[in-house]
Structure 1
Amino acid sequence: MAFEPPQRLVKALGEATYEEPAAARAWLADLPELLEQAVRRRESTVERLLVPGGRSSLVALVRQADGTPALLKLAAPGTRPEAEAAALACWDGWGACRLLDGPAEGDGALLMERLHSEVSLRSLPEAKALLEAAGTVRRLWVEPPAERSFETVAERSARLAAAVRPVDDAMRPLVDAALAAREELVASEAELLLLHGEFRQGKVLAGERTPWLAVGPHPVVGERAYDLAGLVLDRLDDLVAASAGASTARRRVTKLADSLEVDRERVRGWTLFRAVASGTEALRAGRRSQAEVLLEFASWL
């Protein structure tokens, strides 16, 4: 099964911030064989690859042996597909796509319910999209399964914080504020719920059995405000380009926090930290325009 991996995937795995470059290069070279093995193991056949696809996985539309359409996701090295599989199994189709088969023999493959990948919440007007997103993410906030240990918000944010560095003196106050917010939030965290971890509008796709379902979790256990921060950071290009961007940003924090009965200041604090952490990561990876948008947004908070 010969093919060229999608360029979006190749580019993402080649960025300076990717933690396992040698493993990624080997994985990309072996992808055709890995995909063939994965579909054979699950008695499926490939229809086509999804392009541009994901930044950390190869995604293929497949047919199962009985003809049922499904989606097969091959995760790149270091992306923890077992954790994603465990979260999807816990939700069992409630608010998220249904897992049909998890990684087998260490192949890093997930077989999942097929959704309409071309239709996400980003296709809706922003007000409607935020309403639907809030209803979807609420369903995912459940008690974590006792038999599975997930990374915590404290652990993940500590890893992110360790990589946050100001590139100049002008940026230092913003970085210091974000790190201080993270310290305060972790010290006072009271909730331990299963979270999506990377929730945003583009991660919610149209389905058949229910209108909208979440995909692509990077699961973590902690407080709801951490998940909401990712949603606040959605569609930033439009927000930054608007003349009233700063006030709109603060209203978005308030609206989302109030609609889901989450403390506004905790949502604001996690949004500040995650914007700065993502912005500095984008700088290290050479994505300067994305970094500038994230850091400007963070300065409004």
Structure 2
Amino acid sequence: MATAPIEPPQRLVSALGGDPDGPAGAWLDALPGLVQQRLDAWELTLERVHEPGGRSSLLAYVRQADGTPAALKLPAPCRAAHEGAALEQWDGWGAARLLCADADSGALLLERLGGSVTLRSLPEAKALLEAAGTVRRLWVAPAEGHPFASLAGRTEEAVEELRTRGATTQAAGPLLDECLELRRALPADASEEVLLHGAFRQGKVLAGERAPWLAVGPSPVVGERAYDLAWLVLDRFEDLAAGSGAASAARRRVAKLADSLDVDRDRLRSWTLYRAVDAGVRELTAPGGDGQRGELLLEFATWL
């Protein structure tokens, strides 16, 4: 195999390079060697690194020994808990197929999809329809002995950070209190536990060959379906905000998605509010965050 002449994409470096002496910085330094190890071990030929790429992993387009195209993904430390296990359980049903996994590095060899064509390329109504059909396939009972965190556990881990961040900005106001209360109450009242994508949105659904649309990049968690739909409600929220009757349009979107997938409207509204406030506060308080986007997310939450 040829030497991998890779440079980590700038977006990835910017997201992880703030602590050069920490685990993320060390991982970035080791990344070219990690890529080469997987190329050699899995007999892959590197075509190119995907640009601009993501903020928590490197994705490279490769060819297998028989010439079949594939995608090699190397996640940053602590950024891809059990992604491979979820993809293995779905086995290509509604999601990219897992071809190989390396437990030591966390590397995944994936079916290659049309990385430049996502559901965001479709008109909104069509995109929501296709998204609903895709996410429905992912909602299965988790396998016995699964490694996935519960939704209650995951959000409990996040809530202390949210409380701390919220204390540094007055923008959230009463919304923050409502958000924290919803986080406490919602998991306790959930009536179902299915495997969720965990980070589902239009940009995570790519064009494929064996199926028109397939999901990628899960952050799997076990919980109720309304949580998975919440970020889908928030998709293209800037477009809603730019139009007239934004608040009514947001509520109609909640109702339409809930009804199309037999999800309780109130629970979807509540999880959407939680995720909007959480994301908004992060944008307002994170170094390099987008303050305008954060304020708009909080405004969206008030519409619900």
Q: For the superposition of Structure 1 and Structure 2, which TM-score range results when normalised by the shorter chain?
A: over 0.9
Residues in 2 aligned to 1:7 and 1:184: alpha-carbon distance in whole angstroms: 40
The alignment status of 1:89 with 2:92, answered yes or no, reads: no
1:97–1:112: 8 Å Cα contact kept in structure 2?
yes
TM-score of the superposition, structure 1-length normalised?
0.94
Task: Give the letter for the 1:185 counterpart.
Answer: L
Aligned to 2:80: 80
Q: Out of 157, 160, 163, which is 1:159 matched to? A: 157
Query: Where do 1:183-222 residues align within 5 Å?
Result: 183-222=184-223
Q: Which amino acid aligns with 2:123?
A: P
SS of residue in 2 equivalent to 1:155: helix
| Alpha-carbon displacement from aligned partner over 1:94-131 (angstroms, at most 9, x marks no partner) | 00010000124x11210000000010000000000000
Distance 1:221 1:208 in 2: 29
SS at match of 2:129: helix
Give the match for residue 297 of structure 1. 300
In structure 1, the residue matched to 2:242 is 241
| Root-mean-square deviation (Å) | 1.5
C-alpha contact 2:234 2:276 (8 A) present in aligned 1: yes
Q: Which moved more, 1:272-281 or 1:122-131?
A: 272-281
- 1:37-78 Cα offsets, whole Å, 9 max, x none, are 111111111000100111110000000011110000000011
Which residue of 2 is the match for residue 118 of structure 1? 116
Q: What secondary structure, in the 3-state scheme, does the structure 2 residue paired with 1:58 have?
A: strand
SS in 1 for 2:93: coil
- Per the alignment, residue 271 of structure 1 pairs with 272
Structure 2 residues not aligned, in runs of 5+: none
Give the total of aligned pairs: 296
Alignment of 1:1-301 (within 5 A): 1-14=4-17, 22-81=22-81, 83-104=82-103, 106-164=104-162, 165-169=166-170, 171-285=172-286, 286-287=288-289, 288-301=291-304
Contact 1:253 1:264 in 2 (8 A): yes
Q: Deviations over 1:153-181 (max 9, x none)?
A: 10111122111124444522010111112
TM-score by length of 2: 0.94
Q: Is the 8 A contact 1:166 1:172 kept in 2?
A: no
Distance 1:270 1:21, change over 3 A: farther
- Runs (4 or more) in structure 1 with deviation over 3 Å come to 166-170
Structure-2 separation of matches of 1:80 and 1:169: 32
